[in-house]
Structure 1
């Protein structure tokens, strides 16, 4: 698939052919049909596209940043990438730096400040003087040097003394968790009369399969239902995790179990469900489905946990990649999970 997002050699499926002929009755893409009509690289790209039920209206997607809708940040990222790709060998290290900056777990205003400092857009007196503002251009703090961005943020001797006084305070705050609530490291049973499901996914990129593991337990840690499921797809890890959430809720409905809580070891996708800002992304269709399922009587809370609190589901997802068929158990689970399930109840 080229940078124009068109297949190299269009498939000859007929002038009136529609996308739905490539979708099997189970709702997944028909891999055999794709193999017959598309080149391997085109097929790989097609298998990254999640499918869903009909009825969703067409919408514009910002495909350059598949996990988010268009923003000034993503537009700026694309422009920088285009400039870097046409530049020198320093492009790779520059890309790594910008990726590091935008992923920093600090308030957005700090990231923007660093970004402006990198381009020398800080309103120091030297920069103001260059813009014809009536100032001397000298540092107003020490009056010993030109007030450049580097001097104002780092080299000024008076500011060095201030930074030295702040270091003990900053060091004492290094253990504070920002933005993310403390996640569970151990499995905690649900309340009496309620059911909790744990789900996980593992992707085998080499073979092109995704495995899903789902386990539903009661307050005593007893398994009420479990499932191992696998599909052929080339989804991103985040899309695969969203599918795991969707399949878990549907599995609970199919088993007649009213779930109160769903746990998955992926913080980002849980945030997507909470903030609602990614509905115009390539994951938007799955997000809409999950939200609809939750809002139509399935009042299940979705939270993120550490993998150590999700090991039985994780192991089951790995087994799904070995058996490559859909299997489910009612009021039991595979015997190889017994020790992990017992450990969850004795932590």
Structure 2
């Protein structure tokens, strides 16, 4: 299994070494005495394969036999070296044959033996099982996918990808559609889902100029679902949205190249998919409307705000009393800052902040430096806008800001700050939102 290709290998030797990753993919260790099995380098954990340990590997426990004591697992040591969900799988392994030597078996064959039939099926990807979205351990993944701010057609595309049902030549062959199963672009490799999206030479040229290439170039003999989860662990939410959308674009360009015999297939780039994603997200713009109020009788200041989506529906409403500011304009600026921080806490993307205080808006947007009471507050807002290029601050008329003012007024009499989300809104607020005529 460790033999090298050599400088001038024969066709037979190259063919034999080509099948080595196939064996490595399916071979698991059956534990006997544990002396041949590397703890952190071999496949031996049920349902886990190789456990990737990010911390320094203890030299004393590099082999599995160091985890065994008197024919039984050293439970305390296993729990110290592995997370609880991995340790439980290890401790479930029967060590009745601990006096025998370690042996290897093929996990995809019922008897653990290799046959040409089973090897062929594995080679063409028939052992890429469809992902069941009802499985408990995948529930969080599906929730993440459907919560992404990407077009629905991209979400559906990824659902098809992860269920291995996009019409690649390989998938068509599996479903008895007359085809060779070979990739229609490179005309050499088997056209599996992972090959079509990541491994095909024609497709690789579409990824090399992107930030994702450093991850994808190391992909080898991995299932598309494993690749996706691995990439997700490396990217933040925004970058993964672009990655998901770019895959959709790559697939669409691939279809165009195949069906139209287009020689410009190497012109696949991120421009049109990024434009599509940005256009979709801008169409779903959320607006944060803010206001402050002052009650003469109680000598109290309060702020209030509401976030609404592109349809005008409220997503979030809040209000709170604030310490007496140096001026009314400063109170409006505090409302803007507090409102933005609230949207960040609730993970809401907003593209526009509106206020009916023209002086507050001008204090932020004016190029002249303000050394008065409001200057420090305005500088904070200005820096906030500079760090979020998509965010705009605009002035609206008082008549278009009635909901925010009602929330600020309600805060004066409220015993504590409040935050209402989605369906938690009181009836009086729902009525105000319906009556409000703020332009979206």
TM-score range, shorter chain: 0.3 to 0.5
State the structure with more CA Rg.
2
